[in-house]
Every structure is written in structure tokens, then in C-alpha cells.
């Protein structure tokens, strides 16, 4: 089943107060041409404190990120996605739990890099990204050379990237891209962080469709 069809859902638009608390919208044109006019993705600018910051690229409905935020109130969490209905659901659920340490951003992750500060992120999660295997979709993939370069800059020493994918072809491309890259310690198999909650796409691909999930982590050396 096409992922774009699975993205269709009925969801309640958050009220003005909830949206103001939990949701930021970074328009693509402004992000591309005037990134300096937007807040930097740091705990200081987004939360007003100095807690460790973790980020999920392609956070979807926020199931995984909200679970992390609820489990670890001593850190802050930011989710980035383009699908607004998914973000509405993430925001509504964060509000229902009265979470104080999570925020969602509507933005294209591939052009958000100028907002990342050096050595500012403790962890980054990339779970079940759209593989975009057609040639015309290649430019939209997240896991590329620039992704590795920018996140190596933005992660603290010992910071990590957690990756999951159900797509064999995309997984092989990821491994090929990592071949010879000595900036990372590579760990395959179970992830070091498991909040006991699966994201919507994790449930769909692994539980309902029985696909194999490839997992690995990259730890910044």
C-alpha cells in the first residue's frame, strides 16, 4: 500500500491555545531564503531552558516522541514533519498528557539544517522515513550525505542517530553511504532507547504487514 494513502486520516484541528503552545510552522520559502528570521532549534530558544535536546525527523503522529517526553521530563524533545494532520494529532495528544517538554514543527527537514546549532543535540531519531526510491523522489530522501554531515556537526560528542526502516533497498543504500565513514560508531540490532511505544508506521509495517524492521544507531565519535 502506498505511504501517501496511509497518511490519510481524520483528525481534530487543535484549538488556538494548544497550537500556540505545541506547534510552530516554518514556511518553506522563509526557511530556504530567510532562515535567520526563524528560531534556532535549541532548548534555549524553543523552551527557555538549558535541558538536553532530542529531535525526531519525520515524527508523524508523535506517538514515539510523546512517549519519550513523558518518560524523560529532564530533557526536551522536538518533532519535525510536513504532514499537518499528523502534527495535529501529535499536538493534541501532547496537550492531553499536559507535556511541558515537547514541541512540534511543520517544516521540510531537508532545508532545516541552518537552524541547527553546533553540538546542541543529544539524539536524533529517523524512524521509517519515506524511501522515495523513484529517481524523481531521490531529492526528498532524508538519509543522505548532507544529513550525516549536518548532524555530525549538530550532535554533542557521544550523541547518536537512531534509524529504523522496513525498506530493504533503502537500508542497503544507507549502508552503502555509511561505508568508510569513520566519524561514527555503528551499532546494529536493538536500539538503546525504547519507550515501549511504536509509532503509527512502525505498527503498520511491522505488526500489520509483517515486514522486517532494520535498526541501527550511529554514535558520534
Q: Which residue has the cell 525526531?
A: 56
What's the chain look like in SS3? CCHHHHCCCCCCCCCHHHHHHHEEECCHHHHHHCHHHCCCECHHHHHCCCCCEEEEECCCCCHHHHHHHHHCCCCEEEEEECCHHHHHHHHHHHHHCCCCCEEEEECCHHHCHHHECCCCEEEEEEECCCCCCCHHHHHHCCCCHHHHHHHHHHEEEEEEEEEEECCHHHHHHHHHHHCCCCCEEEEECCCCCCCCCCCHHHHHHHHHCCCCCEEEEEEEC
10-residue block means of pLDDT along the chain (221 residues)?
55 94 97 97 98 97 96 97 96 98 97 98 95 70 96 98 93 95 91 65 60 91 93
pTM of the full structure: 0.90
Is 134 annotated among the ligand-binding residues? yes
Q: Which three cell numbers stand for residue 204?
A: 503498520
For position 2, what pLDDT does the model report?
A: 46
Q: Per the residue annotation, which of 72, 130, 149, 207 is the catalytic one?
A: 130
Distance CA 197, CA 127 (A): 13
Q: Give the pLDDT score at 30.
A: 97
CB atoms under 10 Å from CB of 216, counted, come to 19
Q: What angle do CA 60, 66, 68 make, to 5 degrees?
A: 115
CA distance 214 to 221: 22
State yes or no: 130 annotated in a binding site. yes
| Domain 3-220 of CATH type 3.40.50.150 | yes
- On whether 182 is known to bind a ligand per the annotation, the reply is no
pLDDT of residue 171: 94
Q: Which residue has the cell 481534530?
A: 12
Strands 102-106 and 76-81: parallel
**Is 66 within 8 Å of 78 (Cβ atoms)?**
no
Q: Which three cell numbers stand for residue 61?
A: 503522529
86, with CB counted inside 10 A (0-12, 13-18, 19+), is buried
Whether residue 130 lies in the annotated active site: yes
Amino acid at each position: 500500500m502506498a505511504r501517501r494513502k496511509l497518511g490519510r486520516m481524520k483528525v481534530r484541528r487543535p484549538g488556538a491555545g494548544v497550537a500556540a503552545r505545541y506547534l510552530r510552522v516554518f514556511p518553506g520559502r522563509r526557511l530556504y531564503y530567510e532562515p535567520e528570521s526563524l528560531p534556532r532549534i535549541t532548548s534555549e530558544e524553543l523552551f527557555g531552558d538549558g535541558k538536553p535536546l532530542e529531535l525526531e525527523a519525520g515524527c508523524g503522529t508523535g506517538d514515539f516522541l510523546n512517549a519519550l517526553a513523558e518518560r524523560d521530563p529532564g530533557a526536551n524533545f522536538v518533532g519535525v514533519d510536513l504532514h499537518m494532520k499528523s502534527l495535529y494529532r501529535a499536538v493534541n495528544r501532547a496537550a492531553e498528557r499536559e507535556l511541558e517538554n515537547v514541541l512540534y514543527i511543520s517544516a521540510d527537514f531537508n532545508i532545516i539544517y541552518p537552524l541547527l546549532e553546533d553540538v546542541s543535540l543529544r539524539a536524533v531519531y529517523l524512524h521509517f522515513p519515506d524511501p522515495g526510491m523513484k529517481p524523481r523522489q531521490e531529492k526528498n530522501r532524508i538519509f543522505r550525505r548532507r544529513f550525516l554531515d549536518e548532524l555530525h556537526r549538530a550532535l554533542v560528542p557521544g550523541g547518536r542517530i537512531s534509524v529504523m526502516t522496513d525498506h530493504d533497498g533503502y537500508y542497503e543504500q544507507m549502508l552503502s553511504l555509511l561505508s568508510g565513514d569513520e566519524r561514527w560508531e555503528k551499532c546494529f540490532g536493538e536500539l538503546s532507547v525504547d519507550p515501549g511505544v511504536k509509532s503509527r508506521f512502525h505498527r503498520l509495517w511491522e505488526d500489520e504487514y509483517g515486514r522486517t524492521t532494520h535498526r541501527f544507531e550511529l554514535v558520534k565519535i
